[in-house]
Amino acid sequence: MSSGMWAEKYRPKILDEMWNQTEIVSRLKSFVKDRNLPHLLFVGPAGTGKTTGILALARDLYGPAYQNYILELNASDERGINVIREKVKNFARTAAITSEVPFKILIMDEADSLTSAAQHALRRTMEIYTRTCRFVLIGNYSENIIEPIQSRCSVFRFSPLGEADAKGWISHIAECEELNLLPEGLDAIYEASVGDLRKATNLLQAAAATQGGQIDDVTIYSVLGRVSPGKVRELINLGLKGEFMEAREVLRGLLIDEGLAADDIIRLIYSEVLRLNIPERYKVRLSDTIGEIDYRLTQGARAEIQLSTFVAKLAIVGEEING
Amino acid sequence: MTAEDQPWTHRFRPSCQAEVVGNERALSQLVTWIRSWEKGIPKVRAVFLHGPPGVGKTSCVVAIANDLDMDLLEVNASDFRTKKRLEELVGRASLQTVTITGKRRMILFDELEGVSGQQDRGGIASIRDIIKETMIPIVLIATSPGEQWEDKFRPLVDISILIEFSPIPFGAMVRRLKECARELGINVDEEVLEHLADRSQGDLRSTLNDLEAVSRGRERVTLQDVEGLGRRDRNDYTPDALNKMFAAKSLMEARGVISSAHINYDTLFDWIYENLPVVLDNPRDLARGMDALSRADIHQTRAQKTQAYRLLKYMFNDMTGGVALSNLYSTGAGLLSQVREKTAALGFPPGALTVTESRGGIEVRPVRYLGGDWRRVNDGLREVGAQWVRGGNAWLIPYFRPPQLVWRYRRTFHSRRRRNEVAAKLAERCHISSREAVADVIPLVKVMVDGDASMAEEITGWLDLDEKQSKWLKG
């Protein structure tokens, strides 16, 4: 069998294989031992083991046929709460048969992206099907989850991986894949992914594909230059130089050809701006402009127009910096 | 006339509500209101349907009348001219709830947008009077509100329920076209239907016309056959209007473009956005101009969200006057110098190519026969939007180019589709959302697939991608 993405190949399959978030894992293990669990809310940054944790729990609980007892939904991919409700209903109204566990598990990823009205509807649904179904909600921020839902769930906070843990994991994969990963390469991967293991693993795999021999920091930077953050940096630099037309082409490439959501571009622009080598006070000014655009987008403004406006304003900053 | 002879737009016009495509909400709102007349005269005696052309506004009314077995009295713009004519037509009818044969009746005022300004003002007032007195339902229809929407239709808007119709969604349109093709027994490639649906911007009527134009007399229709089909040109000559706008010295002068451009204001907005960096070649002017345009965008969002169309005037002011009056330091030579740089970079001795300004744009004319160099020059100039004018023996770079956004969407239609399919598969296999797949994972997977052939095979196999999808990922 081909192994595809390393992020999946090396994803821990059972709770015993999870080597971080030790406290959380031991609690999850006790649920398995009890053959029962409450509704759960997993919050924390990307790539810290939230999905892995619940999938491993399900496998421990139901055995190899665990797929029959879980339903994975991603709130950001579903069209509206009504579709979600319909799917939940169909899944939850039948009891889990042939298992000694009397309930099924519904996993709702990116639950924090649901509007609060949709969350209230979801809460109702949770109540109706509690007897036959446990809900596991996953999100980045608990602030975006309404209180009535929080109060019905056991909340688990996944913390970002520390540097040693993250690097240990990356080195482990490099070893298994027999790669020659130099320490500078490892540093560069960690710097680009911080505590996000999925991102780190994907980055390592991409680097390994481009480079047969040693993987060092140059390899990693050249990979990064070819993906979105690199293009966003190019966009910003063109903007600062006043090359509006060229910058706009890059922006259109990101929005249309690559299909990035406006939010994601804003997020990347923001983090690149903070890393720019410009006087600090200009960072504050640009951050303010980005904040305004970010708000406008939440109000339904058109992404390309608003982001182009930011690019046009970059030229002014560029001019002032260069005197 | 047999069914075969009818234009397809007639042949496939829905005869009952079940056949109506799209706009389900508007349809149910409309039918609820019409049925409410069965229990006596409701508080509001007219509905106002508005929306883009070809999305089924009239068809809905006709279908409902059929379903409820009502007599429909249709009145068109040409009938509004005089009060006398109008009253002859509908004045009496509106006071009689049933026809001689006992059918309930309803009046439809179609194509209200054809009512123009002053001379027809009397017509609008008469319609209002008729609505106030009417004993039967009155339906008003106009295509999308334009600049004078508020002022022109104010008297009618105030006393009716507004129902908005939207463009027909792409998928629904393709499904409907498939049904039509099946019923006609013609063999049309799916790609053709998608292409037609894609270019129509949600206008089902024009799509049916196009389908008819390419299919009549053919047994099988392929994408090649569609290439010959002319683009439906909704624009009169926009560049002239833009020229005036960008040169305007007052707000009112600039705003004139809204009515003189003869295109929908949001298309006009795209034209202005596309061409503003060429005209405003000074960075401060450009930043101010873009700022105005982004404010216009916000006013439009608010107008749509609140249905308070009076807010549109702030959009119009920002997108025309706001942009034009941002011009303080620009020389307007942006395009000219761009072309000069380009021709200089082509490496000919001075004078071999002359660059001159003409009415429609900038002309580049070869002084001598270019021979084998022609292609190289052509490729270079194409990058700045040049086109070779055969009879004129020169390249022309128009001052204003049409919005590229739409083209880009059309050009990338198939690749975006592949991308979404691949994203969906990645999302499932990697337990992430499609959005994350698109933003964070696909770019890295592309690097993997590009760098290592055996890894590429592994990944495409693992994701179970078909040939088209793998080709997209590798491309």
Question: Which letter does DSSP use for residue B104 in this model?
Answer: B
**Which of A257, A309, A311, A321 is best to mutate for the B interface (most B CBs within 10 A)?**
A309
pLDDT the model gives residue A313: 96
Confidence at residue B12, expressed as pLDDT on a 0 to 100 scale: 87
Position A291 scores a pLDDT of 96
Pick the most confident of A139-153, A305-319, B17-31, B118-132. Answer: A305-319
Name the residue among B291, B301, B246, B298 with its Cα closest to residue B268.
B246
Rounded Cα distance between A116 and A148, Å, is 11
pLDDT at A11 over 80: yes
* Side chain identity, residue B328: L
Using DSSP, state whether A177 is helix, strand or coil. Answer: coil
| Under 8 Å between Cβ of B130 and B91 | yes
- How many other β-carbons are positioned within 10 Å of the β-carbon of residue A299? 10
First to last CA, chain B: 52
Report whether pLDDT(B27) > 70: yes
Question: For residue B146, is pLDDT > 60?
Answer: no
Distances A155 to A1, A50, A52, B123 between C-alpha atoms, Å: 37, 12, 16, 66
pLDDT band at B145, cuts 50/70/90? low
The residue ranges of DSSP E strands in B121-195, in sequence order, are 138-143, 161-164, 187-188
CB neighbour list of residue A287: distance below 8 Å, 6 or more residues apart? A270, A273, A274
Chain B residue numbers touching A189 (CB-CB < 8 A): none
Q: Given this model, what pLDDT does residue B372 score?
A: 79
CB within 8 Å of chain B, chain A residues 128-167: none
Whole-Å CA distances, B379 to A28, B28, B383: 64, 54, 7
Contacts of B327 in chain A (CB under 8 A): none
Of the candidates A251, A282, A281, the one whose C-alpha atom is nearest the C-alpha of residue A268 is: A251
- Helix-, strand-, coil-residue percentages of chain B, each rounded to 5: 60, 10, 30
Q: How many Å apart are CA B51 and CA B144, to the nearest integer?
A: 4
Residue of A nearest to B448 (CA): A206
pLDDT at B288 over 90: yes
Query: Pairing mode, if any, of strands B138-143 and B105-109?
Result: parallel
Residue whose pair of structure tokens reads 């080597």 in the numeric block: A19
Residue of chain A whose Cα is closest to the Cα of B465: A4
Tell me: domain B170-227, CATH 1.10.8.60, correct? yes
B94 is written with which tokens?
A: 């509106």
- The pLDDT of residue B95 is 79
Q: How many CB atoms lie within 10 A of CB A137?
A: 28
Q: What is the pLDDT of residues A160-175, one digit of tens each?
A: 888 999 999 999 999 9
Q: Which of A202, A215, A249 to mutate to probe the B interface, most B CBs <10 Å?
A: A202
Those residues whose C-beta lies under 8 Å from the C-beta of residue A2, and which sit 6 or more positions away, are B457, B458, B459, B461, B462
Q: Is B434 on the interface with A (CB under 8 A)?
A: yes
Show the tokens assigned to B255: 């705003």
- ipTM reported for the complex, 2 dp: 0.86
Residue A252 has pLDDT above 80, yes or no: yes
Helices (H) and strands (E) in chain B, counts: 25, 11
| Tens digits of residue pLDDT in B104-115 | 889 998 878 766
pLDDT higher at B25 or B99? B25
Question: For B334-404, which CATH class?
Answer: alpha beta
DSSP string, B72-90: EEEE-GGGGS-HHHHIIII
Chosen for mutation from A78, A108, A244 (greatest number of chain B CBs closer than 10 Å) is A244
Cβ-nearest to B416 among A46, A209, A259: A259
Token pair for B463: 């994701």
B404 touches chain A (CB under 8 A): yes
The structural domains of chain A, ordered by start, are 6-157 (3.40.50.300), 163-226 (1.10.8.60), 228-321 (1.20.272.10)
| Domain segments of chain B as ranges | 8-164, 170-227, 238-324, 334-404, 412-474
What is the average per-residue pLDDT within B112-123?
64
In this structure, what DSSP letter does residue A20 have?
S
Task: Confirm or reject contact between B447 and chain A (CB < 8 A).
Answer: yes
Q: Which two tokens stand for residue B207?
A: 């799509």
Residue B28 near residue B36, CB atoms below 8 Å: no
Q: Does A241 have pLDDT greater than 70?
A: yes
Query: d(Cα B56, Cα B13) in Å, to the nearest integer?
Result: 9
Does the beta carbon of A228 lie under 8 angstroms from any beta carbon of chain B? yes
Chain B interface includes A72 (CB < 8 A): yes
CB of A258 less than 8 A from some CB of B:
yes
CA distance A12 to A19: 9
Question: Residue B334 in 3-state DSSP?
Answer: helix
pLDDT attached to residue B117? 52
Query: Parallel, antiparallel, or unpaired for β B105-109 and B71-75?
Result: parallel
pLDDT-based confidence at B121, cuts 50/70/90?
low
Q: Does A209 touch chain B (CB under 8 A)?
A: yes
Phi-psi region of B136 (alpha: psi -120 to 50; beta: other; left: phi over 0): beta
What per-residue confidence (pLDDT) applies to B234?
43
Q: Does A78 touch chain B (CB under 8 A)?
A: no
Q: Which residues of A touch B437 (CB under 8 A)?
A: none
C-alpha to C-alpha distance for A305 and B78, rounded to whole angstroms: 40
Half-sphere exposure of B394 (CA within 13 A, CB side): 17
Nearest Cα of chain B lies from the Cα of A281 at a distance, in angstroms, of 20
Find the residue in A nearest to B446 (Cα): A206
Q: Contact at 8 Å (CB) between A189 and A199?
A: no
Q: Do B412 and A256 make contact, defined as CB atoms within 8 angstroms?
A: yes
Residue A133 to residue B387: CA distance in whole angstroms: 65
Sign of torsion over alpha carbons B64, B66, B68, B73:
positive
Fold of B8-164: Rossmann fold (3.40.50)
User: How many angstroms separate the CA of residue A208 from the nearest CA in chain B?
Assistant: 8
CA-to-CA distance for B443 and B441, rounded, in angstroms? 6
With a cut of 70, say whether residue B144 has pLDDT above it.
no
CA separation for the pair A133, B139 (Å, rounded): 50
Residues 6+ apart with CB under 8 A from B238: B261, B262, B263, B268, B271, B400, B402
Contact B434 A319 (CB under 8 A): no
What local confidence, expressed as pLDDT, does residue A232 receive?
Answer: 93
CA B310, B311, B315, B320 dihedral sign is positive
Q: Which helix (H) or strand (E) holds B450?
A: helix B442-451
User: Would you state the pLDDT for residue B147?
Assistant: 47
Q: What is the mean pLDDT of residues B77-93?
A: 71
pLDDT band for position B149 (50/70/90)? low
Counting residues of chain B whose pLDDT is more than 70, the rounded percentage is 89
| pLDDT of residue B232 exceeding 50 | no
DSSP string, A114-173: S-HHHHHHHHHHHHHHTTTEEEEEEES-GGGS-HHHHHHSEEEEPPPPPHHHHHHHHHHH
- pLDDT digit string, tens, across residues B396-406: 888 887 787 76
**Contact check, Cβ <8 Å, A203/B408:** no
pLDDT tens-digit map of A71-102: 999 988 877 778 888 888 888 777 666 567 88
Residues of A in contact with B427 (CB under 8 A): 74, 77
Instruction: Pick from A51, A84, A227 the residue to mutate for testing the B interface (most B CBs within 10 Å).
Output: A227
**How close A72 comes to chain B (CA, Å)?**
8
Per-residue pLDDT, B6? 73
Per-window interface: A 262-301 vs B, CB < 8 A: 264, 296, 299-301
Q: Is B389 on the interface with A (CB under 8 A)?
A: no
Q: How many inter-chain contacts (A to B, CB under 8 Å) are there?
A: 161
Distance in angstroms (rounded) separating the CA atoms of residues B40 and B37: 5
SS3 assignment for A159-176: CCCCHHHHHHHHHHHHHH
* N-to-C CA span, chain A: 61
Measured between CA atoms, how close is A99 to chain B, in angstroms?
24
CA distance A310 to B294: 10
| Percent of residues in chain A assigned helix, strand, coil, to nearest 5 | 65, 10, 30
- Test mutation, A11, A258, A290, A320, chain B, max B CBs within 10 A: A258
Q: Are the CB atoms for A138 and A110 separated by under 8 Å? A: yes
A259 touches chain B (CB under 8 A): yes
Within 258-277 of B, beta carbons closer than 8 Å to A belong to: 273, 277
Long-range pairs for A92-96 at CB < 8 Å and ≥24 separation? A92/A125, A92/A129, A92/A132, A92/A133, A93/A129, A93/A132, A94/A132, A95/A132, A96/A69, A96/A132
Residue contact A301–B298, C-beta within 8 A: yes
Rounded Cα distance between B89 and A274, Å, is 70
Q: How many CB atoms lie within 10 A of CB B345?
A: 9
